[in-house]
Structure 1
C-alpha cells in the first residue's frame, strides 16, 4: 500500500507532455493570465530531506520572443533566497484551520528513525499529498513559485537548482493558458443504500486526488460529504487508463441525490466538475411474493401477497408462465401490472403449466416467487371465433376468413350456412378443419340475395365454443333491374314535361335521366335520383326551338347492373311562331342627372336585335328604339321629372321571328325637395 501511495502521489505529476524531471526531482508549470506558477516535488525521501535542508533555487531565461529564438539569453535568478520549508510556527498557526496543513507540519518536523525506511517513505508520500491540497501548503513546503514577470509573447526555460546542481529544466510558453480537465465517464451502481462510483483520470499531470460532491436539492448546490481527498490507489490498466472509485452511503432512502467529482491539482485548485449522476435510494433486498393459484370458470386465477409497506421500493409486477418445469418462462401480462395489483386471471390457460409472479424493484431487478403448478380438468371450450371480412367473387366464390385460435389443445372448426338469419343453419364442412380459410360456392340463379354463415371451434376433448357472430354475404347479382317506362309528356313552346313509372325491381338503387340532341352521339345527364326518392316527372326548360331531343331512363340496382331494355322517347318544342318573352328586367333612375337606365337579361343563339317600347306620361306603349343584339341595357337622358316612364322589350331573331313582348316596367323621377 505504501509503495502504491508513493507511486500515485508523486509520479502521476510527471507522466504528461508538460513535464520535466530528473531521477530526484520533477517540475511542472501552470500558465495563467499574467503569470506562470512553477511547482516541483522531490521523487524520493533522500531528495526531500536534501531539499528541506539545502533549499531550492529557481532560474529563468528567455528562449524566444515573438516567435524569434533568443539563443544567448542568460539565466536570471528568480529566488535570491532559496526556497525552503517555513518554520514550525507557520504550520502551527495554519494548522488551526487547515487539517492538511496540520498534517504537513507534523510530517515535516516530526523525527523519523534513520533505520525505518518504511516510516520515512510513508511520511514523504503523505507530505507530498498534502502539498497538493492547497497553494499555501505547497508554498510553505518551498515547492511552489509564482512568476508574475512574464510576457504573453515569450517562451521561457526554467532551471531548478539543488545543492549547486541544475537538476531539472522546463520550457514554458506564456501564451498557452493551462486548462484543467474534468474527470470523465463517471459511472455508478446502487445497492442496499450505498452508491458505488467509478471514474477515469483524464489528466495524469494535473489530477493528484479527487473530491466527491453530493447534492440533495435537485442538483442546484453541491457539497463534499467527506472533505478528505480521494487518493489514486489503482495502477493503470492494460490500455494505460487509470480509474478511481468511491463508495458513499446515502443519508436516507426515498430521495433523489446527485453526485459529481472534481480533481485536486498539484496547485491546490479544483478542476471543472465531471458529469452528474442521479441516484434514488430504495430497499433492494426484498422478500419474495407468495403466490397461490385457483381454477375458475374464467380461467386460472393467480393471487399473491406482498407487504404494502414496501410499495415505494418496487415498480410493479409481471406474470410468468412455462409449459414445463425448467423451460423458459414467458410473460403473460401485456404490460407491467400496478404495484398495488394482487391478482391476475389467465383466461387462456394451458392444460398444465407452471406460474410465477415477478416483482421489479426500483432499479429494474426482478425478484420472482416460487413456481406454482396448475393442472386443468379440461371443461373450458375454445374462445368464440372472430371473423375477418369475407370476400365474394363475381362468380359466387365466397372466401371466409377468421382469426386463428392459439389454445394449446385446439382441434378444429365447423362451418354452418343458412339462407335466412332465423332458420336453423346447416353444416357445410364434411369434416373438422384446422385452417382459418374456407371457400364456398353460391348459386347465382336464386332470387334470395343474402346468405348467412357462422362457425364453431372445438378443442381436443370436443368442447365447443359459442357460435361466432353471424355474418351476411350477398350473392353476386347477375340479373339486371327491369326498365322504367315513359307514361306521358307535355309540350309547350318553352319546355318539355316528362312523366314515367320507375323500375319495379326490389334491388333498385338509382335512376338516371339522360338527354341528347338527335344529331349528337352521346347523352348528357339531366337528373340522378335514388330509389327512395320515387321521382316520376321532370320539366326540361333548357331545350331550344327547332331541335329534336332524345330522352332516356336508365335504372341501376345495388350491384351496379342497369336495365337492358331501352326506355327512350324523342320530343321537341312546339313552334308557335314566337320565342319566349324576356323576363329579367330592371330599371333604375337618378333625379339629379335626370337619367333612366333600363336593363335586361336574355340568351338566344339567333338574336338579330332588340326593339324597345316606351310609354311617356299618358301616351300609349309604342315602338321606340332598336338596339344591337350584343346590348343588354338602354339609357334615357334628359327625362322629365315627375312624369312616369314605362319600358318593354322584344327580341327580333335572324330567321324573321320575334319573341313575345315582355312585361313593362315603370319609373318616375321626382323633383328634388327644396
Structure 2
C-alpha cells in the first residue's frame, strides 16, 4: 500500500451515510484516529504478561491459546522486530498433533498442517474493505494495516507540527511499525487474524487433546526463529476471572479509578470502564481500550473521569478484554460522590490577654465556604515547628473567637478547618506569649573534672522551669579574677565541655553558671566549683650541698627542691665507669635533707644524683652528679672507757671516755633514742674527753656512739653505750 493509498483510507470521500452526518463528522473521525496514535505512543506493546514481546538476542515465536467448547483460539507473535518483518513476508505454519483421545495417549500421534497453506497477513485489498466496513468502531484495523503495508509510518498531521506525532517521526521506522502492529492486534482478535498472527481451529473434538506448534516460514539463512507450541483440549475451557481490587477516589475535582493490572495480565491486556448514575444501568465511557502506559513500579492502572454533577452519586465498574476479544464479567461496582473542595484557610487576626493564664483568640474564615465546614479544631505547641497537639475539638463552623485557658511561657496556635467530607486546611502559626519577669532558680549541683589533656567536663542538675532557654557558663583562673562567659549561645543540655591550658602556674580553675529563660531573665550564679589542674610541670631538682667521709661512710647533705608539691626525693648511686644507677634512699618526710651511705666499699669511686617526685608522679631532671672517691679503710682501735653519769638535779647526762692514740683530729659523738637512727650529735677536739647532754626527756632510753677521726682521714672502730634517763 502506498502512502497516498493509506491517506485515502483515512481521508477518503464520505459514503452516502457519512455525507448525511456531514463534513464535521468525517473530520472528527480523522482527528480521533490521529489522537488514538498519539495516545498510544508510550504504551507497552505486549501479547500478555507471561509472553512479553521484547527485543532479545534470540528471535522466538510466542504462542497463547484459549479453549472453547467447539474450537480453539490461537494467537502468536514474535519478540524481534526483524522476525516480525520477515514473518509478514514469509508467514507461519501451524502443525497440530493429536496426542490424547478419550483420556489415553495415542501410540501413533496424528499430525496435520492447519489452514492448508502458509498463514500470512491478508492481501491489501481485503484490508481496505475491512477498514472501510469497520472504520466507525475499529480503528485498530487501520493502525495494523498501515504498520504492515504503508510505505512509511506517517499520519496526516500537517495541521499541527508540534503534536506528539513529531516524536513518532523521529524514531526508527521499523520500531514504530513493530510496536503499533503488536498493540493494535492485541486489542482485536479479528485484526490479529488479518495480520497473520491469529487462527481459529474449529475442527476439534472435546475428547481429544492437541499439541499446537507455530513454526516460522522465514528461511533460516535469512533469520533463524525458534518455534513454540501449546498443549490444549477443547474440554479445558475456563471462565475468565472477575477483575478485582477496583477502587475509586474523589480527588481534586475528578474521579480517579484504580485497579490491579499486572496480576491479571495472563487474561486481560486492556479494559473497558463502565459508568452508571443509578447503580443499575451501566454504559462504557472509554472510546479506546484502557491499557497500562510505560513500565513503572506500580502493578496497577488508573483512569481519571471528569465530574458531571456535584453532590450526586455515580457507580463505576470495569470489564477485562482478552487478546481473543473476550469480555469478562464486570467487577464489583464502586460508588462515588463528587463534592466541592475546601480551598479557604482560617486566619488569626488578633488575640487579647485576659490574664497570665488566659487568652481570647480571634480569626476569620470566608463566609462562602462556611457551609462546607464540619468544625474547627484548635492546635497548640510550644515551638513554631511543633509538634502540635489538639487542645479543642468540634468548634462550631460559625464561631470566630475562642477563650483558651492554660497558657505556657511560649504558645503557638494553629486552627484546623475540617470539611464535611474530611478535607482539612490549616492556618499559619499564631504566637502568644504572656508577660514574664521572674527569673529561673539558681542552678544546683555543679560538678566537674579535668582529664590529662586539659578537657574539662561540667555537669549540673537540670532546672525545671517550662520556659527555660538554657545556661551560660563562666570561668576564671584565679579567685581574684573576673569571670569570663564561655558560650555565645545558651547551652540547652545539662553538661558543657571546655578546654584549658595545663602548663600554667595556676593550679586551680573556677567555674560557675546561670540559667536563662525564654524572656532572657537570668538566674543567680550557681555555687563556684573549684577544679585542680592535672600537674604537667615537673618539680625542680634538689642539689647536693656538701658531703664527708667518716669511718668508711659517706655523709650527704642537700638543698631540697623549691617546688611546693614535692612528695619525696630520691638518691641514686652508681660506681664510676658503669651506667647502672641504684636507688639507695627515698625521703620519708618533707624536711629530710641528710643521709648517711654506709653500704660502700673503701677505695672505690662513686657517683650520686637526686631527683624530686611531685604529687602527680612527675619527676624532676636529675641533679648534677656528685663524684666521691672513698679512702681506703685504716682501722684504728675503738675509743676506750666510754661511760655516762646521770645528774637528775641538773637534768643532764655526762659522757666520759679515754683514748691515747696519736694524730687524733677529732671525736664524733652520735645519739639516738631506742628504735631510732643514729645522727651526729656533737664533735669534740682531740684534747676533749667528756661531754654534757641536756637535750633530754624523762623516762627515755638514749644510746650514744663515738669514734675518733684521725688526721689522715682514717677512723677508729665504733663504741657505744646505753643510758636510761
* Higher-Rg member (1/2): 2
Band the TM-score falls in, shorter-chain normalisation: 0.3 to 0.5
| TM-score, normalised relative to structure 2 | 0.44
